[in-house]
Structures are given as structure tokens and as C-alpha cells.
Structure 1
Amino acid sequence: MRVLVIGGGGREHALVWKLKQSPRVKEIYCAPGNGGIGEIATCVPIAATDVNGLLRFARDRGIDLTVVGPEAALMAGVVDTFEERGFRIFGPEKAAAKVEGSKRFAKRLMEKYGIPTAAYRTFSDPKEAVAHIREQGAPIVVKADGLAAGKGVVVAGTVEEAVNAVRRMMEERTFGSAGERIVVEECLTGQEMSLMAFVDGETVRPMVPAQDHKPVFDGDRGPNTGGMGSYSPVPQIPEEQIREAETRILEPMARGMVREGLCYRGVLYAGLMITEEGPRVIEFNARFGDPETQAVLPRLEGDLAEILMAATEGRLDKVEVAWRREAALCVVMTSGGYPGPYPKGIAIEALPENAEDLMIFHAGTKRKDGRLVTAGGRVLGVTALGRDLREAKHTAYQTLESIVFQGAHFRKDIGLRAIDSRI
């Protein structure tokens, strides 16, 4: 089987790495890929949103299965185009991917199907949004309605911070057209959890939960990023609340999609807050999370290619999905200055080899004159497996200390909340 993975970040490296373990996969390509993916697959210089270029490549190389990584490719309609031409592709169609592409759309679906989430209002007029914020007070959450690479959310501790967020999104257009409309919602409190599932219509196969770390600095300080690290399992969250999230959130949303006439065959990602009243949805995504995938896929037993192929063929209900007992922890190394401006082309030194309990997933790297250099804000994701999170954390951080590039930054407290809860 020939497989094409669309994307070029750490999530896609993890997907390629896991798919390559399948005895069914004979050739694997990645568009556009990165410096690490190129060591285990053939990278092709096609942008993730170049739908026609991707289609031509799939036709010319006889691709049997395409796997979509980034949300931008979904919203560009790559799934619709591939399916219209008879190519198997894993990911929801564009209309269904609006569950991520429009926060207002997702909120309306949650209201309609009784899925617990934060109270909210949407605005297309910044003056009305500011008036609402001043009336509600802080803390309060301001979200760009459209795609903003995981950075279009501001959890404002003061009214002025929220007002400034509205101005940046709607007037200064920090996130372009994604900020034409915004969602303002109540600030939920509790533990965050990411829960992904393989979905094929009404069939839902949950993955093991993970917890992401968005702020750039230790102690959840500083601006939000695309994700500074993740770990799985999340032992501080009771098993019954995880099951509740599956039955009250993931399964109703899958059923709701079917009732809306939407074709959803892909990953449904629920970003959750575990409140005193139970799980509440912060956001839905229409694809594998990043960096959650780097902590979840190493725990998957069996053949990822078989699971994804089954979903595209409408037979996910016939496939068993099993998980390893070991814990996994991923720490992201970033370029200096990220999530603000950062340099590129910095040489990366002393990168260790992957091992049974250690995976180095590349996010923003490329090969230049035979050397591995930085090419993005998030550069590497160091993922370790262990008997528990403490062991996985030790291995990951021990490895991080040996990797060198100028300006490298990483959080020192990934997984600490979970480990402290077990002491």
C-alpha cells in the first residue's frame, strides 16, 4: 500500500513514524514534510493547501490512502476533491471540518445537540463585543472565529486585556480573516484534557486522553503557542469523567454530524475543561492534535494504517483499537522568540537516534547543505515512553539536555501537574 501524509510538522512526523510500522505500507510520502520526516519517508515539495498538486501526485504515484494532518488542508477542501476523484482519504469533508474552521458553527451544533460547553455570544462588530465584555467582566475568553494556528484564543484576566484582544483580532486583523467574527465566552475553570477519537459516521473509537501545555513559559505563563508539550495518560482526571466525555460529548457530536447530513470520517478532537460540574467543551478540532499526537500514537497498539483505511471504507465498527499501558510524555523545543518573531537556519547539534522508548519528532526543521537546521517556531518534539509519567519525563528531559541549537527554549514542567498528583 502506498500512503501519502499531508503536512510538515511534528504531528505528521508522528503519523509517518507510526504508519511506517504497518506491514501493509510499502511506500510512504509526505507533502511537504520536514528534515526528520525525510529520513523515514519521501518528502515531496507540495504545500498542504495545494489541492490540485496533491491530487496530481496521488494519481501519478498510485496512492492508496491519503492522511490529512493540518486543518488548513481540510478547509481547503482536499478531502472533497480526493473523494470526488475516487481516492481514499482520511479526514472529514470541508463542511464537517467547519466544527474547527468556525467556532460559531461548532457552538451552534453543541447547543442543538445538548453538548456541554461554556456560555457564549458571537460578534461581528467590535464595539458590541467590547460593550458585552465590559458588562460581563473578567476573567473572560475571546476567540477568533476562524483558523488561527492554535493561537487565536485569549484567556483574559482583566477587562482591558479582553478589550485589547478584540481590537487585535477585529481591527488590527492579527489573524487575518479569522478575526472578522469573534466568540466571547465565559471562562471555565478546572483541569484541561484533550480527547481524540477515530470517527466513521456514528462509530466512535476513543483514543487515550492527553493533556497539552499551551503557554510558552513554565507555570502556564506567557502567550499561548501551538503547544509546548503533552503527556498521556492524565491520571489526575478520574476515569468516570473520561467516560462521561466520551458518552456526553464525542458520541453526541458524531451522531449530530450524521443528522446534519455531514460526512465525518476522520479524527474528532475535543478540547475539554473538567469542571466541578463535569466535562465542558472548550473547542473541537477536526484532525489529530499537535503535540497531543506525539504522546498518544506511541501508546497505540496495532496497525494505524488498518484503522485509518477502515474508517475511509465505512467499517471502523469492525476494528478493535487497543492501547499500551506505558505512559508517554512529549516536550517541544522551540526557536528563541517563539511565538513571536524567531530566527531560522540555526544548526541543530547532537541529535540522538530514536530508540524503543525515545522518539524525536521533527516539527520545524530542514536539511541545508547536508546539515539539519531550524525552519520553524516549534522545532522538535522529544517524546519518551516509560512505565509511568515520572520515568517518561526523566528520559525526555535527560535527552533534551543533550540537544543543542542557539536560542533553544523548552518548558521544564511538562507533566508535572500529573506527577505531583500521584505523590
Structure 2
Amino acid sequence: MSRFGSDAIQKLTRKCSQVITLFPAILCNMGLTVTLWVHVYQMKHDPKLMPSYFLSADSNRTTGSDLYDSLLNGFSAILLVAVVSFVMLGLVVYNFKLLVQSWLSFACLFVLWCLFPVVLRDLAARHLEDEDWILWLTLAGTTVYAGLGSIVFMTDRMPLWMHQMYVVTNCSLISTSYLRALPTHTAWFLLGMIPLWDCFAVLSPNGPLKVANEYASQYSHTMLRMLMFESRDGQDGNNNGGGGEGKKRTIEIQEDDEEHENEHEEMAINASIDEMGEEERQRLIESETKTAESVSESSLARMRLGNENEEVMEHEKEHENGEEDEDEGMNAAQALDHTETLHLGMGDFIFYSLLVGKSLASGGLICSVGSAMGVLLGLVVADVFLSSPDANYPALPISLIFGLSIHFVLSTVCLPLLSSLAQLVV
């Protein structure tokens, strides 16, 4: 029973350590979104970016109530997400691989080449007054950022950290755009409805994400680069990476020590030859002959040992190369099931940052920090205690529920109570 308990604790600890590796990326995503939202746009809604099908008091299309407008806008947004999801599912089921890849590629390129320059220009306009400088800075920055990002998302040649950086940045750009475009309380209704949709999409037998996951084996794992953030457990890789070099260094040190000892013995023998008589010299010659034979045998043994170690190192190198080739040929289903890799959808990053940004605008810094901590806590609960190899459980609903709950508890209960107590004390 104790052994079972220790194994369970070890398993939970390992899962928790894997989830924690996602925290820096999530916090960076939130921090970048909040920075753009506050510094560049002063947390102001832009009616020009609002979709035409949304209801708002800023336009002629309104019910007369901000609450009803926001509720209907939330339903409209979820309906749009559902339509897009089922269209993508149809393309996947009927094996339109080229259309699926083109769709995902277009989405990535749109963020890189269209959304990034808009934000960069607004950022430059906050610090520069010369329109020419703003234009040239926007063109140069977009060329570098979007050009490199196109290589990162469309190929598998760039390092993992660079892909992670672009995922974090692109999701922040999208979150900032949502914060600017969604009118009044629409973001709150959207954040409240997304968990329901995500549960249906992942857990329902006919859910688009669940069905698409069944067809993942037909697509290359490189497709996931345009959909998900990837975090790998580097412990095993680090241990394996230096094994051959460590063995080689150990062998070289042992050989150097043996050669040094032989040289020392030879110098001691030569120094004492002049002090010996004829019979002693004859005995010494015989002993030197035997020593030379033993040294030759030991040298031959070392040569054999060296050859064997070289063969072992070559075999390990071939094995590592084989693993790399196998990883390159991995399909999307195998990549998702890889035990040393943790994936988090880009949509998760977007809605996490949307929650934190909206919480900051409506409740202040304390509510924003509380909602961020709730997101991280919910992610740990979902991935450590609810996930299993036999079933996929969405992490987004739990995280948003925790974050939303903490925000509204702080904004409606804790902060007003503290304010009332402060007034009584004063």
C-alpha cells in the first residue's frame, strides 16, 4: 500500500513539474498583453474594430441595453467559433489536407504580416511624431519579425524556444485585438460561454476536437506548430546528450594515468641501473623484458577496449540519429501522445490573456493578479488531477472557471468589503 502511495505521489509530482514548465510562457503572454493593452491603447475600446454583426450602443444596431447586447454578442461569437470548427472538421474528415494546411498557414501569416504591423505602428506612434520614421520602423520591424516567423511556423528548422516565443507574442497580439474590439460586457459573456463550448468540443462523441483527434494520425506533427504551444521535458535529453562524451573522457583519463605511471616506473629503473652490479643488471634486463611483454599485453588490451568503446559510441550515435529520424516522421497523434511533451492550444493563451486584460480594465490590478493566479491554479488541477492517458480533458474550462471565480469574488465581495472597513476605520 505504501509503495502504491509513493508511486502515485511520484507520478503527481512529475505531472506537476511538467505543468509548471508552462507557467513562464503563460505569464509572459499575460504580461505582454497587459503591457500593450495599457501602454499603447490605454484600455480603451475602439468601435472601428468592432465586427459589424455585433450589437452596441456605439452603433445603430442595439437592443437598448448593454447587458442584452453583450449577451447576444457572446452567443454570436460562440456561434461563429462553432461554424468555423465544424467547417474545419469537415475538411479534416474528408481528407482535404491541402485546404486544412492552407487555412492554418493563412491564419498564421495574417497575424504575422497584417496584425503585427498594426500594433507595431500604434506602438511607434506613442513614442515618435515623425510619420516617416513611424512608417520605416513599421516596415523594417514587420519584415524582420514576420519573415522570421514565417520560417518558424512553416518549417521545422528553427529551435523550439523560437517557436515558443512566436506563439506567446502572436497570442498576445490577438488577445489585445479582442480587448479593443469586443464592446462593453461582451468579453465576460464570451469567457463564460467558452468553457461550455470547449467541454462539448472535446468530451462529446460528436465534438469537433474529439473527432479531429481521431484523424490526427493522418497529418504530420509539424501541423501542430501552427495550432499549439509545445513544452518538452529536457531531463532525459540532457542525460542522453552527454553520455558518449563522458565515456570518452573517462577512457582518455584512465589511459593518461596508466601512461604516466609507466613513464614514472621507467625513469626510476634507469636512475638505479648505474648503481647495480653485473648480475643485478642481468636480472634487471630479464625483468624489463617481462615488463615490456606485460606492457605490450596491457596496451593491446587497451586498444581492444578502445575499439569496443568506439563501437559502442557509434552504436549509440546511430541509435540517437534513428530516434531523430523517427521524431521527424512522427504524425500528429503520436506527437500528442508523447509522454515527454506537453501541448497547450493557442486558444488557451488567447483567452487567458483576454481574461486578465478585461479583469484589469474592470476591477483593477488586484483582480487582474487574482484572475491570473486562478488560471494557473486551474491549469494545475486540470492537468495533474483530471488528465489521464485514456481520455482527453480540456484544460481551458477549469482554468477560466477558476480565474473568473476569483475575479468576481474579489471585485464584488472582497474589495467592497475592504473599502467599507477602511471607511469605518477612518
TM-score between the two structures when normalised by the length of structure 2: 0.23
In proportion to residue count, which structure has more helix? 2
TM-score (norm 1): 0.23
| Higher RCO (C-alpha 8 Å, min separation 6) | 2
* Bigger CA radius of gyration: 2
